[in-house]
Amino acid sequence: MPNPFFENLRTLENFGHSLRLPAYYYQPEDLDGIRPVLKTARESGLAITVRGAGRSYNDAALNGGGIILDLQAINRILEWQPGTGLIRCEPGVTLKQLWQHVLPGGWWPPVVSGTQATTLGGCLGMNIHGKNNYKAGTIGEHVLEFTALLPTGAEVTCSPQKNGDLFRAMIGGMGMLGIFTSITLQMKHMYSGLLEIQAWNAPNLSSQLEALETRKDKADYIVGWMDCTARGSGLGRGQLHQANYLPEGADPDAARNLQVGFQTLPSKFFGLVPKSLLHYFMAPFMNNPGTRMVNTAKFLVGRNKTYRQSHASFHFLLDYVPDWELAYGRQGLIQYQSFLPKETALPTWSEMLKLSHNRNLPSYLGVTKRHRPDGFLLSHAVDGFSLALDFKVTSGNRSRLAGMLQEFDQLVLKAGGRFYFAKNSETRPETALGFLGEETIHKFRSLKLRCDPDHLLESNLYRRVFGKA
Amino acid sequence: MPKPADQPFPHSTPLHHRQKAILVGASSGIGAALALQLADEGYSLALLARRTDLLSRLCDEINQKAGETLARGYPHDVCDYVSVPGLLQTILADLGGVDLFIYNSGVSLPVGLKKFDFHKDRRTMEVNLLGALAWLNPVAAMFQSLKSGQIVGISSVAGERGRVGNPSYNASKAALSSYLEALRNRLTRHGVHVLTVKPGFVETELLAGAKGTFWVIPADQAARDISKAIRTHKQDIYTPARWKWIMLVVRNIPSFIFRKLVF
């Protein structure tokens, strides 16, 4: 009884290397290769998870014992209009491919994540935001149109006007309603390959949030780094980075720095140490005292300064040290991101930070951003702030960490907060119900029933948070 | 294909890792004891056996003790070879992965010292060997692709010599032990561990009515030995361990003596 199926099995990981699950792996080379995988799923009774670059920190692109449909090879740029900044791409096109294609014409993607490895299909499925969320919204707000293949076999075209309900649900729909086949985006025009950066220290959480609030009208991008190990009066201290586009004529060197070669991240540190080795040097500091030391040093040397930096260097911090996530060790890391209204952010996060200190489970990296609401169905956005916390996972801290995150969930829900499905790995159905509300979940389920009546599309994330309808 | 009617298994998340195992031949004896032992260690278990009533009772016992669905029963006759790949695929999806596969099914059908019975021999081979091969082939293919996993075969000390009392049982276990050794040699290079377990006399249905037994251990003691060997990635164990020395002697009894023995 030969069973060729088992030979397609492969162990896949999340971005944080904290969960490994097996799945039957298919990577079609073109759009025609998608339908046979749908057929295989239908015949075998297995569900499909659509996967891009696998940059979700949780189980969004994992499907234990099911089928993974990897769209990374379907990555052609179909159409580019340098005059208007309109671009039409296949879903496997990465942000890196995208910016490198549009930059020479003086364009840049309107919204980018902290890594350029993500695919557009993944970016839309999660409706990613960047450091300009309060101003530019999510990537979904810059999608003019997309086409998708539904599990029913139907092909649909969606835009804010056409099939608007599906447009607002598939963007941010975790890949559970259909498979993006082409995406049309509006790029943002710029006059320089450089950004004007201002950096300064914030002595505590309240000053950090205040800076995000007051600067938001002037800044094109703003992001905060938080030293989550600091206690007492320095609780929530950190550094802020504000970036602004250069106006026309402000950069005499624009012709040069709008070239891809200028933007590319250096591969060596001090021109000497290959950066691919750097994570080995970081690993010894990835513990409570090590992180406290490094964070304190980073905070103390932080000065007010203004400088110019390339777009790629400013945006893609996660790519600055290749494989940085390996520094977290064999058990990997998880990220816990919460979105809070501006009124409740300060007391809630203060309580969370103190709780993490009392439990001796400090986060090794905290990142703050300013947000605004959007009109997508499964939205994570609020008129307020987000705080993303990275935690190292060890075999000894798993259950304590899980317990603490459940307490965090309650604090965030009580404060009117929300969560983001590309990040948190332990969100329970009752928590999702708590922030999305019954009506939203009902709407999503009805669309799911319409687009995917046989539940061909399911991921571990979907089963964890939404379960069977 | 019979569908277990109970609740789905809980999900694995980065902070709730779950070990997952398939146990074929779980309804009684070493299999049932091993299921209880592995459930105590937190495993999610797909339990397979022919006798559905025993199987569902065992699942209930495990799930009630754990307070969540750790065990689900899959009624299965190991001689239904054709159904195996499909069932493995279903279980892999239900569990969300498999870390450990255990083949424990086995029968002993003694024929009497002066009798010969092909039908009994054939049945012994079908359950003890062909059933094992039907499972081990797709399981090996699965683990080889995944470059991880652990296979456990419950063989027997009886496989080390051919004795007058039960030729086909000896032959089936000898073949199983050899097959497992060959699998180990094939799969270790792919990151897969293979453990051959050789129990001595264990208090199970298989032993009921047998004469001349000694050092009989309860099934839960054998289960503890096996689970320890699983944890430490052993290749080969006897349970209880002292059989190692007995079998060293037995293996080396010259044939001219062995022919005269009646055990």
Contact with chain A for residue B13, Cβ under 8 A: yes
Q: What CATH number is attached to the domain comprising B247? A: 3.40.50.720
Contact with chain A for residue B82, Cβ under 8 A: yes
**Looking at residues A227-256, what average pLDDT do you find?**
95
Q: Considering only CB atoms, which chain A residues are within 8 Å of B137? A: 1
pLDDT, one tens digit per residue, over A340-396 is 999 999 999 999 999 999 999 999 999 999 999 999 999 999 999 999 999 999 999
Say which of A5, A6, A393 has its CB closest to residue B14: A393
Task: Give the domain range for residue B126.
Answer: 20-258
| The predicted structure's pLDDT at residue A3 | 54
Identify the weakest region by mean pLDDT among B70-84, B107-121, B196-210.
B196-210
Distance from CA of B55 to the nearest CA of A (A): 24
Q: Considering only CB atoms, which chain A residues are within 8 Å of B85? A: 1, 3, 5-6
**What band does A276 get if pLDDT is binned at 50, 70 and 90?**
confident
| Any domain includes A434 | no
Clarify whether residues A67 and A82 are in a common domain.
Answer: no
Domain count within chain B: 1
- SS (HEC) of chain B: CCCCCCCCCCCCECCECCCEEEEECCCCHHHHHHHHHHHHCCCEEEEEECCHHHHHHHHHHHHHHHCCCCEEEEECCCCCHHHHHHHHHHHHHHHCCCCEEEECCCCCCCCCCCCCCHHHHHHHHHHHHHHHHHHHHHHHHHHHHHCCCEEEEECCHHHHCCCCCCHHHHHHHHHHHHHHHHHHHHHHHHCCEEEEEEECCEECHHHCCCCCCCCCEEHHHHHHHHHHHHHCCCCEEEECCCHHHHHHHHHCCCHHHHCCCCC
Closest CA to B78 of B139, B134, B13, B5: B134
Task: Give the domain range for residue A57.
Answer: 4-71+449-465
Clarify whether residues A377 and A347 are in a common domain.
Answer: yes
Query: CB neighbours of B183 closer than 8 A, spacing ≥ 6?
Result: B136, B140, B151, B194
Structure tokens at A389: 């916390």
Q: Considering only CB atoms, which chain A residues are within 8 Å of B6? A: none
Residue where a domain stops, chosen among A134, A161, A189: A189
Say which of B14, B97, B145 has its CB closest to residue A65: B97
pLDDT at B3 over 50: no
**Looking at residues A55-67, what average pLDDT do you find?**
97
Contact with chain B for residue A18, Cβ under 8 A: yes
| Any domain includes A435 | no
Which chain A residue has its CA at the smallest distance from B141's CA? A6
Residues of B that are catalytic: 169
Clarify whether residues A92 and A180 are in a common domain.
Answer: yes
Contact with chain B for residue A8, Cβ under 8 A: yes
Identify the weakest region by mean pLDDT among A143-152, A282-291, A350-359, B100-109.
A282-291
Clarify whether residues A105 and A174 are in a common domain.
Answer: yes
**What band does A469 get if pLDDT is binned at 50, 70 and 90?**
very low
| Any domain includes A383 | yes
Share above pLDDT 70 across residues of chain A, in percent, rounded to a whole number: 98
**Looking at residues A134-154, what average pLDDT do you find?**
97
| Any domain includes A438 | no
| Any domain includes B15 | no
pLDDT at B84 over 70: yes
**Which run of H or E residues covers position A10?**
strand A9-13
| Any domain includes B240 | yes
pLDDT at A61 over 80: yes
Clarify whether residues A253 and A266 are in a common domain.
Answer: yes
Q: What global pTM score does this model have?
A: 0.94
| The predicted structure's pLDDT at residue B4 | 42
Contact with chain B for residue A406, Cβ under 8 A: no
**What band does A4 get if pLDDT is binned at 50, 70 and 90?**
low
Amino acid identity for residue A398 in this structure: R
Contact with chain B for residue A46, Cβ under 8 A: yes
Which chain A residue has its CA at the smallest distance from B81's CA? A1
Contact with chain A for residue B94, Cβ under 8 A: yes
| Any domain includes A442 | no
**Looking at residues A421-433, what average pLDDT do you find?**
95
User: What distance in Å separates the CA atoms of residue B103 and residue B121, rounded to the nearest whole number?
Assistant: 20
Clarify whether residues A35 and A87 are in a common domain.
Answer: no
**Looking at residues A134-142, what average pLDDT do you find?**
98
Residue where a domain stops, chosen among A189, A208, A231: A189
**Looking at residues A255-267, what average pLDDT do you find?**
84
Contact with chain B for residue A45, Cβ under 8 A: yes
Clarify whether residues A369 and A403 are in a common domain.
Answer: yes
| Any domain includes B11 | no
Domain count within chain A: 3
Clarify whether residues A243 and A371 are in a common domain.
Answer: yes
Q: Considering only CB atoms, which chain A residues are within 8 Å of B96? A: 21, 64-65, 460
| Any domain includes B14 | no
**What band does A431 get if pLDDT is binned at 50, 70 and 90?**
very high
pLDDT at A2 over 60: no
| Any domain includes B122 | yes
Strands (E) located in A332-399 = 333-341, 365-371, 384-392
Q: What CATH number is attached to the domain comprising A40? A: 3.30.43.10
| Any domain includes B84 | yes
Clarify whether residues A346 and A416 are in a common domain.
Answer: yes
Structure tokens at B239: 């349970």
pLDDT at B5 over 50: no
| Any domain includes A260 | yes
Best mutation target among B15, B20, B90, B143 (most A Cβ atoms within 10 Å) is B15
Contact with chain A for residue B15, Cβ under 8 A: yes
**CB atoms B97 and A19 under 8 Å:** no
Contact with chain A for residue B141, Cβ under 8 A: yes
| The predicted structure's pLDDT at residue B2 | 37
**Looking at residues A278-288, what average pLDDT do you find?**
90
Residue where a domain stops, chosen among A189, A213, A236: A189
Contact with chain B for residue A58, Cβ under 8 A: yes
Q: Considering only CB atoms, which chain A residues are within 8 Å of B14? A: 14, 16, 18-19, 58-59, 332, 334, 393, 425-426
**CB atoms B89 and A22 under 8 Å:** no
Which chain A residue has its CA at the smallest distance from B87's CA? A44
Share above pLDDT 90 across residues of chain A, in percent, rounded to a whole number: 90
**CB atoms A64 and B17 under 8 Å:** no
**CB atoms A460 and B95 under 8 Å:** no
| Any domain includes B123 | yes
Clarify whether residues A35 and A83 are in a common domain.
Answer: no
**What band does B262 get if pLDDT is binned at 50, 70 and 90?**
confident
pLDDT at B185 over 60: yes
| Any domain includes A382 | yes
User: What distance in Å separates the CA atoms of residue B106 and residue B176, rounded to the nearest whole number?
Assistant: 11
Say which of A10, A332, A426 has its CB closest to residue B145: A10
Clarify whether residues A26 and A86 are in a common domain.
Answer: no
Mean pLDDT of chain A: 95
**CB atoms B95 and A9 under 8 Å:** no
pLDDT, one tens digit per residue, over B16-41 is 999 999 999 999 999 999 999 999 99
Which chain A residue has its CA at the smallest distance from B93's CA? A65
**Looking at residues A105-130, what average pLDDT do you find?**
97
User: What distance in Å separates the CA atoms of residue A141 and residue A444, rounded to the nearest whole number?
Assistant: 19
Strands (E) located in A272-327 = 273-274, 305-310
Q: What CATH number is attached to the domain comprising A145? A: 3.30.465.10
Contact with chain B for residue A328, Cβ under 8 A: no
Q: Considering only CB atoms, which chain A residues are within 8 Å of B142? A: 6, 9, 22
Between A and B, how many CB-CB pairs are < 8 A?
A: 95
Identify the weakest region by mean pLDDT among A259-273, A344-358, B21-35, B236-250.
A259-273
**What band does A468 get if pLDDT is binned at 50, 70 and 90?**
low
pLDDT at A31 over 80: yes
Say which of B85, B94, B147 has its CB closest to residue A11: B147
Q: Considering only CB atoms, which chain A residues are within 8 Å of B11? A: 59, 460, 463-464
| Any domain includes A328 | yes
Clarify whether residues A63 and A88 are in a common domain.
Answer: no
Q: Considering only CB atoms, which chain A residues are within 8 Å of B16? A: 398, 402, 426
Distance from CA of B125 to the nearest CA of A (A): 19
Distance from CA of B111 to the nearest CA of A (A): 32
